[in-house]
Structure 1
Amino acid sequence: MMKPILFYGVPSGCSFGSIVALEWLGRPYRLCRVEMPGEAGSDAYRRINPLAETPTLLTAGGETLSESMAILNHIAAQGLEAQLGYPQGSPDFDRLNQMLAFLNTTFFGAFAPLWHALEHEMRDAEKQVLLDYGREAVAKAHRQLEMMLADRPWLLGAQRSVADAYFIGIARWAEYLQVVDRSDYPNLQRLYNKLEQDPAVIFAHAIEQQRPVVGGGGFAGEVPLAEALPAR
């Protein structure tokens, strides 16, 4: 069996959460850096992800898996003992998928207009409409997640899960896009601060910023895209 390879996107890709989850899992894996949007749209990368999106996981069995929710569930299934995930069919599994779905649609989706305005040329009036819509959507998503988290230590309760890994990868966009003040949401700020001190999150930041890394998990090095692609 080969070591899995996670193709992660920079700058500030949502694949950040999958890096954190792999570190928490602690099993051997490698990383492949994909610059967005240029390299992600290349013919080479489209061989494993025709949608030209990150992340993509090349599994230990040589299969490719895309979409963060699917990749995180794949990681969680291997981390049941550490409660990164839960057995399929259990109430906890349903709660995890409910939270991942919220993060994937409402929380992630709220930022989409802001990313579009940042990455595309358009008339000032059109851009302002997108910015106003996106800021309200992000604020609403934060209000909703603030209420869902309440005073629990982690998104699902007493134990961290892949949902928390996914959350931190998206939540940091608030600063990147200068959209909301997280201190207005004390429960989310508390969770964010705790995660930012986690060694796996510190590791993922260092990976993205190409700083020296000290992995506490199973990180087995980076591999260039040309070498990471499976044989035709």
Structure 2
Amino acid sequence: MEPVLFYGVPQGCSFGSIVALEWLGQPYRLCRINMPEDMQGDLYARINTVRETPALLLEDGTTLSESAAILHYIAARDLSKGLGFAQGTRDHDRLNQVLAFLNTTYFSAFSPLWRAYEMEENPPVQSVLREVGREDVRKAHGHLEAMLEGREWLAGSQRTVADAYFIGLSRWATYHRAVALQDYPNIWRLVRKLEADPAVAFAHAIEAGRPATSSGGFRGHVTLEELSPKLAA
């Protein structure tokens, strides 16, 4: 079977991996994971012991987890697509740096807001978490705005898996009403360009459960139960 990406809904950071697979253009399948219900089951634990998405089931039956690792793997499947670069090059180092920023500083800035989302029974704590989170998100967007100065894309002059990852995470700013992306001209320019991309439109439709037209190699959905025989016990 083709590689299978396990993507989380709603608002999963796995969105970027769907976009990257579409850009790659090679055959792949998707497995929809409803968060957090599906991740708590024993079956998903056989895919990822930390019970998070995304995860990627490879052709040989092994699995790969963590967004940065999956995105680098997707890019390396065909470097001629320009989604990544050969290891040891300056371009690869720059891409690695951008992915690390997105995976740590940018991603973690939203952590207090996601915690607040889960604490409706404790309004005072929820309020503090939202205040802290919004300040962290403002700082992270300030850093990202400066990083984009003079660049067409996050890692330089061409789109890479970093841009795919970013467009999935950037939705959280609006979802949590943390910042207005329009207040950051460089970020807003990149967001608008990416939102016009067919692969991003496809990923939105997939998450929403709407009919989705692939411009890449999408071969359909598969369920956890159907994959069970291929998973390590």
What TM-score comes out, normalization by structure 2 length?
A: 0.97
Determine if contact 1:32/1:228 at 8 Å carries over to the other structure.
no
1:8 maps onto 2:23 in alignment: no
Root mean square deviation of aligned Cα: 1.0
Q: Answer whether contact 2:84 2:160 (CA < 8 A) is retained.
A: yes
More divergent stretch after superposition (74-83 vs 116-125): 116-125
Counterpart CA distance in 2 for 1:29 and 1:106 is 30
Q: Aligned partners of 1:130 and 1:117: how far apart in 2? A: 6
Q: d(CA) in 2 for partners of 1:65 and 1:11?
A: 21
* Paired residue type of 2:51: A
Instruction: Indicate the residue corresponding to 2:190 in structure 1.
Output: 191
Match of 1:148 in 2: 147
Q: Which residue of 2 aligns with 1:42?
A: 41
Tell me the matched-pair count: 231
Paired residue secondary structure (2:83): coil
SS state at 2:103 partner: helix
Partner of 1:51: 50
Structure 2 residue aligned with 1:173: 172
Show the counterpart of 1:23.
Answer: 22
What displacement does 1:122 show? 4.5
The answer for unaligned runs of 5 or more in structure 2 is none
Displacement of 1:170 after TM fit?
0.1
Aligned position for 1:106: 105
Runs of 4+ deviating beyond 4 Å? none
Q: How does the TM-score come out when normalised to structure 1? A: 0.97
> Structure 2: how far apart are the matches of 1:119 and 1:34?
19
**One-letter identity of the residue aligned with 2:136:** A
- Provide the C-alpha distance between the structure 2 equivalents of 1:7 and 1:22, rounded to a whole number of angstroms: 12
> What's the counterpart of residue 135 of structure 2?
136
Contact 1:114–1:177, Cα closer than 8 Å, also in 2: yes
1:71 and 2:70 are equivalent in the alignment: yes
Q: Which amino acid aligns with 1:68?
A: S
| CA distance in structure 1 between the partners assigned to 2:103 and 2:42 by the alignment | 27
SS in 1 for 2:80: coil
Cα distance in structure 2, aligned partners of 1:151 and 1:182 = 18
Give the whole-Å Cα distance in 1 for the aligned partners of 2:223 and 2:59. 18
* 1:56-113 per-position Cα deviation (integer Å, ceiling 9, x unaligned): 0001222100000110010011131011000011111111110000000000110011
Q: Is the 8 A contact 2:75 2:83 kept in 1?
A: yes
**Paired residues of 2:202 and 2:212 also in contact (CA < 8 A):** yes
Contact 2:94 2:155 in 1 (8 A): yes
Distance 1:5 1:62 in 2: 10
Shift of 1:47: 1.1
CA contact (8 A) 2:119 2:126 kept: no
Q: Which runs of 5+ in 1 are unaligned?
A: none
Distance 1:79 1:106 in 2: 28
- Give the AA of the match of 2:186: N
CA distance in 2 between partners of 1:95 and 1:20 (Å): 20
Mapped partners of 2:86, 2:135: distance in 1: 36
Mean CA deviation greater in 75-84 or 132-141: 75-84
